[in-house]
Amino acid sequence: MNQRKKVRKAVIPVAGMGTRFLPASKAIPKEMLTIVDRPTIQYIVEEVVASGIEEIIFVTSEGKAAIENHFDYDFQLDALLKKKNKTKLVEELRHISNLIDIVSVRQKKPLGLGHAILTTKNVVGNEPFLVLLGDDLVQSKVPCCLQMINLFQELPESYVAVQRVSSDQTHQYGIVEGDEIQDRVFKVGRMIEKPAPGTTESDMAIIGRYLLQPDIFDLLEKTTPGHGGEIQLTDALQALAMRRAMYAYEFEGTRYDAGDKLGYLKAIVAFALQHPELKDEFRVHIMEVADSFKKPAKKSK
């Protein structure tokens, strides 16, 4: 049966213009901005690989070639590094190019996240698939995607990952209302895209991780454009929840919005504190910086 199929594919939309990160993203895809020593998108791909996914579909646009190039094999660079006996770098770059099979689909018009996912219909086919946003990083012991796949094995329906947010932040997210059916799992009753203050009591905000049944494609085709002329994924998800059961999963881990300047800085600190080569010295530096704020300012004469 369709709903029992294995989750083999992941869609990663990277077609956005990255306006929140201008001017840095004017010539460089925001997904290629580095967190310590690797681009944001590599962390996303590595989470997918660690979750057992076999194929990635990038949804790209003009000016995003650097993302595809990053995961491609570069013969000239490989030869240069070998000539200079940079063995460790050679191994690391070959590892990146061999991580996973990657397919690219072009989103020709900026018509929103829902439209970006719809462009992958023929590549994904009639099977469940993951969606990961290219600037949402999740730091966790068990990859967030794998947590969702494990749930899917028990209850093969669609899932959205959620985190709790304060009431003054709900208007920035898609919000889920629903009843808890087991620890950290909620059956979705209603989904609201960026609700106005006071219109919902829920604090469960959707983040950039989804596990979706292929039914979503038919619903996206029928979804009328909303704000800004974009096809909203949340609208199609709400329709899907009316057709069949859908669940929200409060994942275990910490999410960083690396497409936001403050979130990006927080991500750098968090990942640097876990970096095998840098974490000890960096921790000392962070403590020194924190201590400097505790010291009273010198009074001017």
Contacts of 145 (CB under 8 A, 6+ apart): 10, 47, 48, 50, 51, 53, 130, 132, 209, 211
Per-residue pLDDT reduced to its tens digit, 73-103: 888 888 998 889 888 888 888 888 888 899 9
Best CA proximity match to 148, nearest among 127, 131, 125: 131
Mean predicted confidence (pLDDT) in 113-120: 95
Give me the pLDDT at residue 3, please.
45
pTM of the predicted protein model: 0.90
Give me the pLDDT at residue 253, please.
94
Return the structure tokens found at 193.
Answer: 């895209």
DSSP string, 14-50: -----GGGTTTTTTS-GGGSEETTEEHHHHHHHHHHH
Contacts of 25 (CB under 8 A, 6+ apart): 17, 18, 19, 33
Domains of the chain (ranges; CATH) run 2-292 (3.90.550.10)
Q: End-to-end alpha-carbon separation of the chain, Å? A: 80
The conformation of residue 195, written as its DSSP 8-state character, comes to P
The CA distance from 194 to 100, in Å, is 35
The CA distance from 275 to 43, in Å, is 13
The CA distance from 32 to 37, in Å, is 11
Per-residue pLDDT reduced to its tens digit, 217-257: 999 999 888 767 788 898 899 999 988 999 999 999 999 99
Cα dihedral 270→286→19→134 (10° resolution): -10
Please tell me the chain's helix, strand, coil percentages from 3-state DSSP, rounded to the nearest 5: 40, 25, 35
The CA distance from 73 to 68, in Å, is 10
Strand residue runs (E) in the chain: 9-13, 34-35, 38-39, 55-60, 101-106, 129-132, 136-139, 158-164, 174-182, 185-193, 204-212, 246-250, 254-257
Task: Output phi, psi for 76, to 5 deg.
Answer: -65, -45
What is the radius of gyration, based on Cα positions, of the chain?
A: 21
Give me the pLDDT at residue 11, please.
97
Give me the pLDDT at residue 2, please.
44
Q: How many CB atoms lie within 10 A of CB 215?
A: 18
Task: Output phi, psi for 232, to 5 deg.
Answer: -85, 125
Return the structure tokens found at 140.
Answer: 């966790």
CB 41 within 8 A of CB 32: yes
pLDDT over 50 (residue 161) = yes
